[in-house]
Amino acid sequence: MENTEVGTTISMDEFVFELPSEKSYPIVDDACSELIINGDAESTDGNGWSPYPLWSSRSDAWDPVVTEEVSTSGSINKFYRAKNRRWHSDSIKANLLKQCFVKGLVYTISLKVRIHYHTSLSYYVQLKGPKSDGTGWIHKQPLYCPEQSSMSGWVTCSGPFVIDMDYEAIGKDIEFEIIFDNLKDVSPWAVVDYDDLSISFKSGPAEGLIIDGPTTTRWGVNANIHITSSTLSNRDSQNGVIQAITRNADGSATLKLKSGIDAVISDTDSPGQGVEVAILSRNIKIEGESGGTPEQGGYLQVLHTPGVAQTIEGVEFVNMGQQKGNNRFAIQFLYAGNVPGTSVSRNSIRNSNHRCIVFDGTSNATISSNVAHDTAGHCYYFGHETVDNLVAKNIGSRTNNNISYGKHVNGRRFIGTAAG
């Protein structure tokens, strides 16, 4: 026994000294179904009072204490309490099995938190561990939770996350912790209650996708699709090839792909944060000569066409753009002036050496529903005296680092006017 204040009287009713039982370890044949063991504090060892296998980030000052409370209905609930915290990052912790962190798997994090503090606090879940190559640590924040106050009582925060390559780069079991706002959680630090801590398996690699049906009416077998990232890194975006399309009774469509993909987060899983699925293939293709250098791609330029409506729709542009040539981009409107009725829409741009769609000195055009993937430089660029254009529903995904930060390349536009 330690960290007891001077003058404290301790009474002991019973004492248990035992090895942890099987209930403090993952299920042997299903270890990855739930990564946090005894997260609800209801069935722990030590006659129900040991926090193991959960632990404290500062064991010299405090350990999580299994605590009981009686609800208004008369039922008894157990939870973990953290007292004597000495820093905003002091947290209850758990070790998570490294072998369960396989790229492409989706887990759901869920927890209940109650704070006892004079002001509201926000917090986030952090998963961390040392890199297997010994070059440092990786810190990931898969879940952010909004502010809550003492008056809020128990608050549940949850959300899905996808395992990416960063987790695979960690060389040992991964640490789970909850970090509070470092500007508000200050001395004397908050007392925090935790309950129902959970990281549960949701889904694995997928063979296909269910998407909104109306958008796929013109999609076909063998078409290439792009799936944006489920994480904060664009490197986790994916490509696929359609093997079959099934129209469902509810109006949706099921895309079966020729090869499996990493599981993704849908709009149902996390409203407003679901991935986008875009078709890359088009029946009309304009392709720069293959096998060249980044200075030798093709380009399409509309030059000095005031008052003439232009239509560029439904075209696939591949290997376009030149890094060292002035005004040599995949698609560029230069000095076009006032061009009402112009539409650059529903095109796809892939493997562009320099930018995607560029407008200089051009006004009153519509640029919508274009898809760009694996491109270099600023993808959608609107330069000098480019005004009153409608830009809507365009996607730029996986901008590569072929033009790295601070690198200067030629290609500046020649300043013109948008006057008609």
CATH number of the domain enclosing 26 = 2.60.120.260
Q: Is the domain of 171 the same as that of 274?
A: no
Q: Is the domain of 57 the same as that of 73?
A: yes
Q: Please check whether residue 13 lies inside any domain of the structure.
A: no
Structure confidence at residue 405 as a pLDDT band (50, 70, 90): low
Where is average pLDDT lowest: 128-137, 192-201, 210-219, 276-285? 210-219
Where is average pLDDT lowest: 78-92, 146-160, 183-197, 242-256? 242-256
pTM more than 0.95:
no
Encode pLDDT of 346-373 as tens digits: 999 999 999 999 999 999 999 999 999 9
Q: Is the domain of 259 the same as that of 243?
A: yes
Q: Would you say residue 33 has pLDDT above 70?
A: yes
**Percentage with pLDDT > 70 across the chain:** 95
Encode pLDDT of 287-326 as tens digits: 998 877 888 899 999 999 999 999 999 999 999 999 888 8
Q: Is the domain of 301 the same as that of 231?
A: no
Q: Is the domain of 215 the same as that of 331?
A: no
Q: Is the domain of 100 the same as that of 118?
A: yes
Q: Is the domain of 330 the same as that of 270?
A: no
Instruction: Report pLDDT for 60.
Output: 86
Q: Domains in the chain: how many in total?
A: 3
Domain boundary among 257, 279, 301: 279
Q: Please check whether residue 239 lies inside any domain of the structure.
A: yes
Cα distances from 15 to residues 50, 80, 232, 268, in angstroms, run 11, 20, 49, 49
Q: Is the domain of 212 the same as that of 198?
A: no
Q: Is the domain of 305 the same as that of 344?
A: yes
Instruction: Report pLDDT for 339.
Output: 97
Domain boundary among 279, 298, 315: 279
Instruction: Report pLDDT for 40.
Output: 96
In angstroms, the CA 387 to CA 382 distance is 9
User: Chain centroid to CA 145: how far?
Assistant: 15
**Percentage with pLDDT > 90 across the chain:** 68
Q: Would you say residue 266 has pLDDT above 90?
A: no
Domain that holds residue 160: 22-203
Q: Is the domain of 172 the same as that of 119?
A: yes
Q: What share of the chain is helix, strand, coil (3-state, %, to 5)?
A: 5, 40, 50
